Amino acid sequence: MADSESPPVASPRSRLRIRFAGAATLGALGLAALWRTFGTAWVLAAAAPGAYQAAYAWTNLSANRRPGDDRPEPRLGPANAITLFRGWLASVLAGALAAAPPHPWVPIALFAGAVGLDAVDGAVARRTRETVLGARLDGATDALAVLVGAAVAVALGALPAWYLLAGGVWYAYAGSLWRRRRAGTPVYELPPSRIRPFVGTAQFAVVALALVPSGAGEGSPLTAFAALALAALLASFARDWAAATGRLGREDPPIAAGRSRD
């Protein structure tokens, strides 16, 4: 009698895709479960950024590896799971653009969860394993939270419309470097910066203050704080773009992909 053939073993990349598909399905089911509480308009508005987050993560799954290692990790890991949950919370917040929240404190609670867990996923990554995917997801999730949070705050009249630049600048920066890589133009590693994390935290603070019910609103000290924070953010991105494109003068060799802004 012929020996039975053992079933083929899935590759690490295939296992990673299956696990991510399961996580994306869980996120979609979680969003659908909010229908009775938040309503159809809220859930449909939240589905768009949720789909973007899932698509961004899916196209970057090949980067689920340690820096300097070409072998992909077959598991997302707890840090990436937390980051994806942060993005899910930011996506749910987007529903406030289409419908009134069931309670005035819901938007700030969702935003606080999305940005408050930023320190948690970083700490978990350092204790377990840091991956290139994790760095990319972290930056993209921060940008999504600021963009959605700022849009909601503007819709509520708590921030002026020009502050939406704070949510869009990351996409302009990332898109510019993506086009350079596609064209074969050199992209360089970002130098360390002690100011960069504080500039990002300032945007979190601006949006959080604006989303607090009965906040200060436009024309108040919050608007002045938002202007200063936005100016610092634009200057930080301009410097990083000049560094990443070699305009500041670089002696180190270019890299295949730009470093995520922490």
Residue ranges per structural domain of the chain: 13-244
**What per-residue confidence (pLDDT) applies to 259?**
46
**pLDDT at residue 4, rounded to an integer:** 54
260 pLDDT band, cuts 50/70/90, is very low
DSSP state, residue 255:
B
Question: Could you tell me which of 67, 77, 69 has the C-alpha nearest to residue 20?
Answer: 77
Beta-strand runs (E) in 166-258: none
Core vs surface per residue 49-72: b (16+ CB within 10 A) or e: bbeebbeebeeebebbbeeeeeeb
Closest by Cα among 78, 129, 112 to 204: 112
Buried b (16+ CB within 10 A) or exposed e, 188-201: bebeeeeebeebbe
Q: How far apart are CA 36 and CA 164, in angstroms?
A: 30
> In this predicted model, what pLDDT tens digit does every residue of 31-47 receive, in sequence order?
999 999 999 999 999 99
Going from the C-alpha of 70 to that of each of 13, 109, 125, the distances in angstroms are 12, 39, 18
Alpha-carbon span 224 to 209, nearest angstrom: 13
Confidence (pTM): 0.87
Return the amino acid letter for 165. L
CA 207, CA 27: separation in Å to the nearest integer?
25
Distance, C-alpha 81 to centroid of its chain:
13
Q: Is the pLDDT of residue 7 over 60?
A: no
Taking the C-alpha atoms of residue 78 and residue 152, their distance in angstroms, rounded to an integer, is 29
Q: Which two tokens stand for residue 77?
A: 């890991």
Q: Coil, helix or strand for 259?
A: coil
Taking the C-alpha atoms of residue 106 and residue 6, their distance in angstroms, rounded to an integer, is: 52
Rounded Cα distance, 227 and 101, in Å = 27
Mean pLDDT, residues 241-257 taken together: 74
Q: pLDDT digits over 218-235, tens only?
A: 558 899 999 999 999 999
The pLDDT of residue 123: 83
pLDDT higher than threshold 50 for residue 258: no
